[in-house]
Structure 1
Amino acid sequence: MSLPTSSPNRFLSLDVFRGLTVACMILVNTPGSWAHIYAPLGHAKWHGWTPTDLVFPFFLFAVGNAMSFALKKYDAPLAKIFKRTALIFLIGLLLNWFPFVAWSGDELVFKSLAKLRIMGVLQRIALCYGLAALIIYYFKPKGAIIASVLLLLGYWGLLLTCGQGDPYSLEGNAGLFIDKAILGENHMYRGEGVPFDPEGLLSTLPAIVNVICGYLAGDYIQRKGKNTGTVIRLALAGLVFVALAYVWNSWFPINKKIWTSSYVLLSAGLAAVILSIFIYLVEIVQWKRGWYFFEVFGKNPLFIFVMSGVLVKIYGLIRPEPGKGFYSWFYETVFRPLAGELNGSLLFALFHVGLFWLLGWWLDKKRIYIKV
């Protein structure tokens, strides 16, 4: 989702915001040990939220920001939208399958497509990007606002009417039954101990609104320019969203795993507030120093994120000791003795953030900007 570096309307603050989200995605996805992480770096158990729960919707918001620049430049917008959506979805599917073999006892065996997870982070990004782009293309920004309201209210209605028992529970939410019926249990995530996909089909609907909100914010700052008034209005809009999220939370709990509509308002609102702060500091105050670390991630966000996933999958193939993968061996041999369980786990994650920063830095120095 990178923008060409030659774009005359490029906002450094948007690169910084996008880069921050990518760096945080790598940080929270690669702890040395999932049993030893600081609470803010883990997801909420169910209802509620932590800073980690904001990372993915912030990335979707950043996708919308980039779209506000790029969509206007497409010569054949529909073809570009469908091509990009299909490619990102396919990359996500291949990443789920990669490295195509896995350990079974002491031998490597081919990973069966019969148990391939269909959805995932990249697949949700693809669908949210594609559907948001189509909504904006056909209905324009004003129509996209109406569509967003309908998506958030409609999703609430679907959970209430199609769920079983507690419609906001792991076992009773309607998305679970839809995913089982369409995707099948063998093609779903099992991180909760049962087949349940936090990037499932139904919960993708409200996530589209995160992209639309990012688009509207990006379009607004382009039209109104880099000034204090723009920053204040964007921040106030974000705070209103946060307030509405907490009001709605009384009836429709904030929940990342089923991507509730109140969660969309919270995450989009906080994204707008943080982006407004970056715009003020970078574009208005002209505080240019110190942002390059995040700017590097923001120039090749999708590629760097994919490569971080590829490396973790490769770790799984390497066995320095019988029965032990390189991932846990690396943490236990280097980082845990160096800093202890919690700090060592954090240091392991920070090491990988730094590693992929070096990749992004090298790409930037070579002026290589990989776009899908």
Structure 2
Amino acid sequence: MPSSPPSRNLALDVLRGLTLALMIIVNTPGSWSNLYAPLAHAAWHGFTPTDLVFPTFLFVVGGALRLNMKKLAALDNAAFLRTVARRGALIFLCGFLLYWFPFFTADFTPEPIGTTRIMGVLQRIGICYFFAAVIVRLGGIRGALGFGIAALFGYWWLLWQFGDYTLAGNAVRALDLAVLGAPHMYGGDGIPFDPEGILSTLPAIVNVLAGYLAVAWLGHRGRTMAAVGGLAAAGAACLLLAYGWDTLLPINKKLWTSSYVLCTVGWDLLVLAVLVWAVDIGGLRAGLPFFEAFGKNTLFIYLLSSVGATVLALVRVGGKSLHGWLYEKVFLSWADPYFASLCFAVAYMLACWLVAWALDRRRIYIKL
């Protein structure tokens, strides 16, 4: 645990902190039955604001990778591979342990590892980080662009060649069933299907590379209106391509389709352009420390929020979970179910922020 922060990028920190705040809100509603539509994922095909949260994490991972490449570039190939493999593996392990937590059942017998989900959010981040780092190490900017194009079209071909675009018949599910097995897959959609599956991790690497390229562009052009205009133009082009491609390959988060990648990259480029314009060029500072605190300890606060949510679900009060009891007694007692559910999520996010703020005040920055 370093006691001083690494060199930061303010706009990227704000984007990372904003994304984490939104992720906590959408992951911990008071009731999953009472969600405002923008705070729910698309059921299958389609896109909601919530569907932008996870790919934005991948985007900022790519941006941070670009900022760290000067240090990584000084390593020889063996040391470089050890460094990025270790970091990617530790992120993957954190995600796996998070799904296995609390490791014991109510009668203190060990939770069977044979039914623990293998893939997931942090697992995908770890894998994508590693491969993106190797790609830019070997191929640089041109390699990242070439891989991105090949991956998006190649993934489209794989989906078309080995299945369809339905929940039961897609190639992502078929590969995961064959490699991981149903007990190790997510079952929240009614059948074993992992929205962070093995095959769909391929196009997700492109989200990381897009963040890398965006920050590389800013490094090359500087924080200027011309650079902001370039980001915005690229974002608009990605959105036009995404919604055009949607007629052939539906925008679908759970399949992480190539059109979905372009859609999310497009929005991320536009958001980053706005932040660079407002923060770096315009000098905006009001309210930014809130998101900076989240952005400086992102992985730790994400783990804390997930573990805390699990604890709230396991602890029993008055015959129901502590989560349900708090929602009913503290929020539902004065608000309608939808607003109460949102207020619970915001309150939980603020509780996590207090931890992030305390760490930042003490200049404690936890990283792998």
* Alignment TM-score, normalising by the size of structure 2: 0.96
Give the aligned partner of residue 335 of structure 2: 339
Q: Secondary structure at the match of 1:316?
A: helix
Instruction: Give the CA deviation at 1:72.
Output: 2.0
From 284, 287, 298, the equivalent of 1:287 is: 284
Deviations 1:290-349 (A, max 9, x none): 211111111111111111001011223311133x22111221121111322111100000
Q: How many residues align?
A: 361
From 275, 278, 284, the equivalent of 2:275 is: 278
From 237, 248, 251, the equivalent of 2:245 is: 248
Q: Secondary structure at the match of 1:337?
A: coil
Is residue 2:222 matched to residue 1:225? yes
C-alpha distance in 2 between matches for 1:349 and 1:72: 39
Question: Identical aligned pairs, as a percentage?
Answer: 50
From 321, 324, 333, the equivalent of 1:325 is: 321
Counterpart residue identity of residue 52, structure 2: L
Q: Secondary structure at the match of 2:105?
A: strand
Instruction: Give the CA deviation at 1:144.
Output: 1.1
Counterpart residue identity of residue 125, structure 2: I
C-alpha distance in 1 between matches for 2:64 and 2:324: 36
Give the aligned partner of residue 115 of structure 1: 115
Is residue 2:205 matched to residue 1:208? yes
Give the aligned partner of residue 83 of structure 2: 80
Give the aligned partner of residue 18 of structure 1: 16
C-alpha distance in 2 between matches for 1:285 and 1:17: 16
Counterpart residue identity of residue 99, structure 1: P
Instruction: Give the CA deviation at 1:6.
Output: 5.1
**Is residue 141–residue 216 contact of structure 1 (8 Å, CA) maintained in 2?**
yes
From 349, 358, 361, the equivalent of 1:362 is: 358
Deviations 1:163-183 (A, max 9, x none): 1xxx11101110001000000
C-alpha distance in 2 between matches for 1:153 and 1:115: 34
Give the aligned partner of residue 131 of structure 1: 131
Q: Give unpaired runs (5+ residues) of structure 2.
A: none
**Is residue 5–residue 364 contact of structure 2 (8 Å, CA) maintained in 1?**
no
C-alpha distance in 2 between matches for 1:114 and 1:137: 36
Give the aligned partner of residue 64 of structure 1: 62
Instruction: Give the root-mean-square deviation of aligned CA atoms.
Output: 1.3
Counterpart residue identity of residue 276, structure 2: I
Instruction: Give the CA deviation at 1:220.
Output: 1.0
Counterpart residue identity of residue 111, structure 1: E
Alignment of 1:3-14 (within 5 A): 5=5, 7=7, 10-14=8-12
Deviations 1:223-276 (A, max 9, x none): 211111000011100110000001110100000010000000000011000000
Is residue 2:354 matched to residue 1:351? no
**Is residue 102–residue 317 contact of structure 1 (8 Å, CA) maintained in 2?**
no
C-alpha distance in 2 between matches for 1:319 and 1:224: 56
Q: Give unpaired runs (5+ residues) of structure 1.
A: none
Is residue 2:114 matched to residue 1:93? no
C-alpha distance in 1 between matches for 2:94 and 2:217: 31
Is residue 2:55 matched to residue 1:52? no
Q: Secondary structure at the match of 1:156?
A: helix
Give the aligned partner of residue 41 of structure 2: 43
Counterpart residue identity of residue 323, structure 2: Y
C-alpha distance in 1 between matches for 2:278 and 2:231: 14
Task: Report runs of 4+ in structure 1 exceeding 3 Å deviation.
Answer: none
Instruction: Give the CA deviation at 1:111.
Output: 1.3
**Is residue 182–residue 192 contact of structure 2 (8 Å, CA) maintained in 1?**
yes
C-alpha distance in 1 between matches for 2:234 and 2:103: 46
**Is residue 11–residue 283 contact of structure 1 (8 Å, CA) maintained in 2?**
no
Instruction: Give the CA deviation at 1:77.
Output: 2.1
Counterpart residue identity of residue 229, structure 1: A
Instruction: Give the CA deviation at 1:159.
Output: 0.5
Counterpart residue identity of residue 341, structure 1: P
Deviations 1:94-141 (A, max 9, x none): 0000111234xxx45431111100011000111111111111111111
* Alignment TM-score, normalising by the size of structure 1: 0.95
Deviations 1:81-103 (A, max 9, x none): 00001100001000000111234
Counterpart residue identity of residue 362, structure 1: A
